[in-house]
Amino acid sequence: MSATGWSTMSKLETWMTRRDAETVPGTFILEFPVVKASKGVGDRKVDALIVMNGSVGEASPKDKVEIDGKDVIVVQTKASRLGMSVMGQAVFSIELVKRHFKPKSVRAVIVCTGHDAELEALVLPHTDVEVWIAPDKPTGAQMANKG
């Protein structure tokens, strides 16, 4: 974990996040800062933020990408099957984005490597959260080029 309490994505998670974010038309930003650290508040980043209907492609977190008034998707990735921690990150990331920005709409996508029927049943009532199962694992060359 980082000093702020959130670890940065592993190389496998970065690759998974980028691969799935690239399938959605819009601008995606890896490791997007949602909350800046201050006294008594930790820095909070989401694995990616996708701004729908923006320029297609990747932007840096330092780029000035307009979020207010836009439809956005928060992406949280876990290089394992669906688990409670990534579910919590997805649900609460939506709330943090709403609190710190003024998007037109916000929803979340969880990218993980496998199903968990019990936990997926808990996600279903959250109509603003989707679970995407990564169909495969990258080769070493793909990870070197993409992550």
Q: Is the distance from CB of 95 to CB of 63 less than 8 angstroms? A: no
- Domains, the chain, with CATH or none: 11-146 (3.40.1350.10)
Q: What residue has token string 């980043």?
A: 45
pLDDT in tens, the chain (147 residues): 333 334 455 666 888 888 888 888 899 999 999 999 999 999 999 999 999 987 788 999 889 889 999 999 999 999 999 999 999 999 999 999 999 999 999 999 999 999 999 999 999 999 999 999 987 655 444 444 444
**What pTM was estimated for this model as a whole?**
0.84
